[in-house]
């Protein structure tokens, strides 16, 4: 086991406040997602792909208890009898409603009690030295874990039937600037991954050099309007655009459009968090599988970018030669940089967030929609599991494809230029979109 590298420039008290803020921000969001519906909606399973919301709520508290109270704080277990119930690897999502889950009121009391004790530990512990506490890593890990489950719960809200339970203002409009369709990313080496980001997770490590040939990348994610043209041109009926597995999958399940789309009265409509509305042509397409993204790219005479191409476009500064934390630089995201944190409940129009552009002018690499890449989820050279194998290592291999960049449902604590997400190529309930690439030769 290896500890994450410390950022020695961070003042210990500033680091403590950062950890507390990240934990409180996550908890505020969890509260919103679990109090906006009544108890039957909390305990129901809205899709066999997802857990009941009340399972996620107590699982959040149980993970916090196991890592921050027991492992970091050395405290006695509060509820050891529920550890197996909330073990994500022991019980598949489809089976969780049959478990003896904590009732909503009991789950809320449990997570509240755990959090109070965790904040007490955070006030007293030295955030340096031991692997789990160095640079506040365990606190950052748990804040990221809760935010990842908040995104999962938001997916459940999208899948649930019934009137809207969540509201949010629309994202800011695009600035109207004329953008080129694609950007040339020069070839050459760059530094991929990180060895210095204090809260980076194990699959982001270590930093290493990659040589990436020159390629062209879409300036923005592929839009609904562009995807509609793919559908209209027989994209779902032409075998030649699909991999063998992808074709078999869409035939078996009768897929003809992105998830939540339907054709009515000569137009495409979509269901979004309980509201049915016309599909906005200017927004990035969302709720498409890897198979659909790959087929679209083939139809367009292009391909999905590799993971290293995506990261080079998002982080490499051609002027200095260094890799940035984000496309715009090293500063943390603000609402002017990217659509993150469930602020808008939808992607922003393609071409939005000019302040978030990369040095070469690629936009919306962070936020809006997770972007499928062509790459399998594999370890970096020198990878070591930390602090447990089940976070990343057990998923490595050709079964899972890498997604990058985050979505409107992702909080900034769980989104950076090095952050890696992964999922099965059939997944569509996630907030997934894509952009395409082509060789520069």
Pairwise CA distance, residues 411 & 413, whole Å: 5
Are 321 and 272 in contact by the 8 Å Cβ rule? The answer is: no
d(CA 153, CA 269) in angstroms, rounded, equals: 23
Residues 303, 182: Cα–Cα separation, whole Å: 13
Which tokens is 289 given? 């599988």
Token digits of residue 94: 């489809």
Distance CA 136, CA 200 (A): 11
Q: Enumerate the known binding-site residues for Fe cation.
A: 59, 145, 149
DSSP code for 125: S
Reduced to 3 states, what is the DSSP secondary structure of residue 269?
strand
3-state class (DSSP) for residue 114: helix
Binding residues for gamma-L-glutamyl-L-cysteine: 93-96, 423, 427
Q: Which residues are annotated as a binding site?
A: 59, 93-96, 145, 149, 423, 427
- Residue 351's alpha-carbon distances to 177, 179, 334, 408, 415, in angstroms, are 8, 7, 17, 15, 20
Q: Cα–Cα distance between 63 and 382 in angstroms, integer? A: 27
| Placement of tokens 């598949």 in the chain | 92
CB 353 within 8 A of CB 334: no
């Amino acid at each position: 086991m290896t500890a994450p590298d410390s950022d020695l420039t961070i003042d210990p008290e500033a680091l403590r406040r950062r950890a507390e803020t990240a934990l409180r921000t996550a908890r505020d969001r969890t509260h919103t997602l679990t109090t906006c519906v009544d108890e039957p909606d909390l305990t129901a399973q809205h899709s066999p792909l997802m857990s009941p919301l009340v399972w996620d709520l107590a699982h959040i508290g149980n993970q916090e208890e196991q890592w921050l109270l027991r492992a970091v704080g050395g405290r006695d277990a509060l509820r050891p009898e529920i550890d197996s119930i909330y073990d994500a690897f022991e019980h598949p999502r489809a089976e969780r409603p049959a478990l003896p889950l904590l009732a909503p009121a009991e789950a809320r009391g449990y997570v509240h009690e755990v959090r109070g004790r965790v904040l007490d530990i955070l006030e007293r512990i030295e955030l340096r030295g031991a692997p789990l506490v160095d640079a506040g890593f365990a606190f950052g890990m748990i804040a990221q874990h809760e935010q990842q489950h908040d995104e999962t719960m938001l997916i459940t809200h999208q899948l649930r039937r019934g009137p809207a339970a969540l509201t949010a203002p629309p994202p800011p409009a695009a600035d109207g600037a004329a953008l080129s369709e694609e950007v040339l990313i020069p070839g050459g080496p760059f530094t991929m991954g990180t060895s210095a980001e204090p809260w980076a997770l194990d699959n982001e490590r270590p930093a290493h050099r990659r040589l990436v040939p020159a390629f062209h990348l879409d300036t923005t994610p592929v839009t609904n309007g562009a995807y509609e043209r793919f559908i209209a041109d027989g994209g779902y009926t032409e075998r030649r655009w699909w991999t063998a597995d992808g074709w078999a999958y869409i035939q078996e399940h009768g897929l003809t459009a992105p998830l939540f789309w339907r054709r009515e009265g000569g137009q495409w409509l979509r269901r979004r968090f309980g509201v049915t509305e016309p599909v906005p042509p200017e927004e990035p397409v969302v709720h498409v599988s890897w198979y659909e993204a790959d087929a679209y790219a083939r139809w367009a005479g292009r391909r999905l970018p590799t993971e290293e191409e995506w990261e080079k476009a998002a982080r490499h500064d051609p002027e200095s030669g260094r890799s940035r934390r984000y496309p715009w630089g090293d500063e943390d995201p603000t609402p002017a940089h990217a659509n993150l944190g469930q602020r808008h409940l939808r992607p922003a129009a393609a071409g939005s967030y000019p302040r978030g552009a990369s040095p070469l002018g690629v936009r919306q690499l962070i936020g809006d929609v997770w972007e499928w890449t062509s790459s399998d989820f594999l370890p970096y050279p020198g990878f070591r599991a930390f602090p447990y194998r089940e976070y990343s290592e057990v998923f490595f291999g050709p079964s899972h494809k890498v997604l990058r960049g985050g979505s409107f449902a992702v909080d900034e604590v769980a989104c950076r230029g090095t952050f890696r997400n992964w999922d099965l190529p059939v997944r569509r309930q996630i907030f997934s979109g894509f952009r395409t690439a082509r060789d520069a030769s």
